[in-house]
Each structure stands twice: as structure tokens, then as C-alpha cells.
Amino acid sequence: MPTEPARRRRTSPRVNPQQPELPLADPLSAFASPLAPVPSVPGLDDLAERYPDRKVSVSARHKPLEIYSGKPNQQGSFSLDSQEFFLVIAQFFREALPLRIIILMIACQRAGGQIELTQEEMGTVLDITRPKINDALQEIMEHGIVYKKRPGVYQFNPPYSYRVAEFIPATEDQPAQMIRVEQADRISEIRGNTGLPDRVRFPSLDAMRTAIEELRKARAEERAARRKARQDKERTTS
């Protein structure tokens, strides 16, 4: 004899007629057919009972481009970095300081690849004296990785590292804004500036690759010479 609560459950089934009839045996068709919105939290029980093989969860609304996002529903800024560039400089620079400066500049660049940092500020962040910062920075600029626009302002070469956009929060005087500078536009601007060195206007990592191969060849010759010297010494003492 069923109890009174059981009879009520049978006579008053909770069915949402708006939910589509999904073929549970065909997962591709099931996931391709959207479910109607669940009107209330108790409706999740209906959904779970109707599709027992489907995992039901509730998560936050996905924000567009969640990379350095400024606030909900605000497109975030993002950077484009060349993996080939990272690979080459990791092999080329034998000292850590140039690499540390490049990483710092990548982190501090603004929309359009501009870096607003003085050498004193770089030295403060990295705990390095200004003369050492200047020497390492000159070496970096010789290869066209960055160039100096004016005192305290440098520009990344767009093919190597580039901040496409940035979100600037509101202040008391200015509203919040999203600044975006297309990479192709900045490349055209740099190539049209005949006052810049060719390595900046037409960047290439070939010179650094050649230097890496020459360095490896020289070091291999040094190792071979040391090995031969040890063998000669062993023969003369035996």
C-alpha cells in the first residue's frame, strides 16, 4: 500500500515541457541540441532525472578573452610573443642580465609595444647598477629587439613581443578605456621610419643564429684542444 507522499509524487510529476527530446544514445546529437533555460534551482532535479548520464553543473558566466581582463564583460588586453624569439635569445645571451631586462620589458610594455621605463627604474627593479643596465641594454638594442624612442621610452619590435591592447581603469578625471594598437599598423610605421637601423625596420634573428653556431663551433674546438692536450700529457708521462 503506497504512502500518501508517494501517491502525491506519482500524480504530480515535475516535467518541463520546454526541454527538447534528446536522443541519449547519440552523444553528438545530444550536445548539439541546446537545453531550454532552467527556470529555477529546483528544475535542476528535473534535468538530472531526465538525463541521468549527463553531468549537470552551474558555473560562472564565461567572460570574453579572459587574459589580463580588467573587469567583468570587459575585453582584456593580451600580448603576442614569438616562441622562436624566446628560443634564440635563450641560446644567444650567455649572461643572465640581458634576458632579465627583456623579461622586464615584456612585462611592462603598454599597448603598441611601448615601454615606459628609465634605466634607473630598471636598476631598481632588478637590483642592478645603472652602468650594468646600460651595457646590457645597448647589447639588446644592437640586435633590433627594442629601440629607444626618447629618454625613458623604448619600443619593442612587434615581431618579437607585442602588447596588442590594454585596459586602463577609470580615474577621478578620466573614464575607463580600452586601448588597442594593431600589430600590422605598428610594423608599417616602423618600416616607414628611414631613420631607424635596418635591424629594427626589417628584423631578423639570422644574425643571432649565426653567432650561436659560431660560438658553439669555437667552444667545440676549445674542448677538442683541451682533450688533445690531456692525451698528449698522458702519453708523455706514461
174-214: per-residue pLDDT in tens? 888 888 899 999 999 999 999 999 999 999 999 999 999 99
pLDDT at 66: 42
Question: In this predicted model, what pLDDT tens digit does every residue of 206-225 receive, in sequence order?
Answer: 999 999 999 999 999 999 99
Q: Residue 63: what pLDDT?
A: 44
With b meaning 16 or more CB within 10 Å and e meaning fewer, what string describes 85-94? bbebbeebbe
Q: What integer pLDDT is reported at residue 96 of this predicted model?
A: 95
CA 201/CA 184 separation, integer angstroms: 13
pLDDT < 50: residue spans in the chain: 17, 22, 62-70
Q: Are strands 165-168 and 177-180 parallel, antiparallel or unpaired?
A: antiparallel
- Whether the Cβ atoms of residue 140 and residue 146 lie closer than 8 Å to each other: yes
In this prediction, residue 55 carries a pLDDT of 72
pTM over 0.75? The answer is no
Query: pLDDT at position 70, please?
Result: 46
